[in-house]
């Protein structure tokens, strides 16, 4: 009996039993949620941009710099989303590898201010979300081989959930006539979503929330909304809603709700995780079309 107790005590005191969680820092909440779902109890995740925060206009703090310096894995979106990240990496002294979650996706491009630019909002298509998940899973496995099997299992389960949700969204939109699949939102965050699920999004602002709409662009958008008889508009949790409300008022559109395209809500909100946010956004959009 004494030997059994001693063996148990030694096991509990072993280095493996006291292994600290892998320190993971992500640029914004959607990546943070993905890393947490795949990493489980084996990771400690910090998202630099918090809930309802704007990843375009984020201003890092000294605390963010310290978090990055201590990180074992750093995950970013890439595609030009985090214009502030290079400055933060330099300031923090972090010299590890950045995991680019969007690596391997088929990039969409758009015209903005007369230039062809890459759309960074790739995660809003669940097919791309699966690529993100695989990249994150591989990064965690590389950094922490002792839990590689756990990361692989949780990652596979997570991707399976995405596949089911993707199929559900496609089936739902097939019940809506193509002529009704037009939406007014604050800025161009739904390009990949629109291509995947057959929805056309109109927005006064470009790919970045920091862009500005000209009077000509606003006027053209109002005319298009009237011609297409778009009756609802959507605000976004991370953007100033005033411009889209003005356009909606001029075109006769009424509020359709709030969407979460690039920032999750708090845990008490309706979009506290990536998959919950996707379903919530889709249900909101579908309701406006029926």
Domain 177-289 has CATH 3.40.50.300: no
Residue pair 75/22 in contact (Cβ under 8 Å)? The answer is no
Q: What is the CATH number of domain 18-167?
A: 3.40.50.1980
Residue 38: CB atoms within 10 A of its CB come to 29
Tokens representing 100? Answer: 């680019």
Chain-centroid distance of CA 187 in Å reads: 15
Residue span(s) of the chain under CATH 3.40.50.1980 come to 18-167, 177-289
In this prediction, residue 207 carries a pLDDT of 43
pTM of the model: 0.85
Q: From the first residue on, what is the mean pLDDT of each consecutive set of 10 residues in the chain (290 residues)?
A: 49 56 98 98 98 91 96 97 94 94 94 81 97 98 98 98 98 94 79 94 56 62 68 70 68 76 94 97 92
In this prediction, residue 209 carries a pLDDT of 45
In this prediction, residue 91 carries a pLDDT of 94
In this prediction, residue 111 carries a pLDDT of 72
In this prediction, residue 208 carries a pLDDT of 44
Distance CA 169, CA 167 (A): 5
Residue 157: CB atoms within 10 A of its CB come to 11
């Amino acid at each position: 009996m004494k030997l059994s107790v001693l063996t148990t005590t030694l096991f509990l005191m072993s280095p493996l039993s006291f292994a600290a969680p892998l320190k993971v820092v992500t640029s914004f909440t959607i990546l943070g949620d993905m890393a947490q779902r795949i990493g489980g109890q084996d990771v400690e995740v910090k998202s630099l941009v918090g809930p309802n925060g704007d990843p375009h206009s984020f201003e890092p703090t000294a605390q963010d710099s310290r978090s990055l310096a201590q990180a074992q894995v750093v995950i970013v979106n890439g595609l030009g989303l985090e214009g502030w990240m290079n400055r933060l990496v330099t300031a923090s002294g972090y010299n590890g590898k950045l995991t680019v979650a969007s690596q391997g996706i088929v990039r969409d491009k758009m015209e903005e201010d007369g230039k062809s630019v890459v759309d960074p909002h790739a995660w809003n298509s669940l097919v791309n979300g699966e690529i993100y998940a695989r990249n994150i899973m591989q990064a965690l496995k590389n950094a922490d081989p002792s839990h590689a099997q756990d990361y692989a299992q949780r990652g596979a389960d997570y991707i399976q959930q995405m596949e089911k949700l993707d199929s559900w969204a496609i089936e739902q939109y097939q019940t809506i006539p193509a002529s009704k699949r037009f939406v007014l939102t604050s800025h161009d965050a739904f390009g990949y979503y629109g291509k995947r699920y057959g929805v056309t999004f109109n927005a006064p602002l470009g790919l970045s929330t920091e862009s500005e709409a000209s009077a000509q662009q606003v006027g053209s958008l109002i005319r298009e909304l009237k011609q297409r008889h778009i009756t609802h508009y959507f605000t976004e949790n991370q953007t100033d809603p005033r411009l889209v409300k003005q356009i909606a008022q001029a075109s006769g559109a009424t509020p359709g709700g709030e969407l979460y395209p690039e920032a999750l809500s708090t845990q008490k909100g309706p979009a506290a995780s990536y998959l919950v946010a996707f379903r919530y956004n889709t249900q909101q959009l579908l309701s406006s079309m029926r």
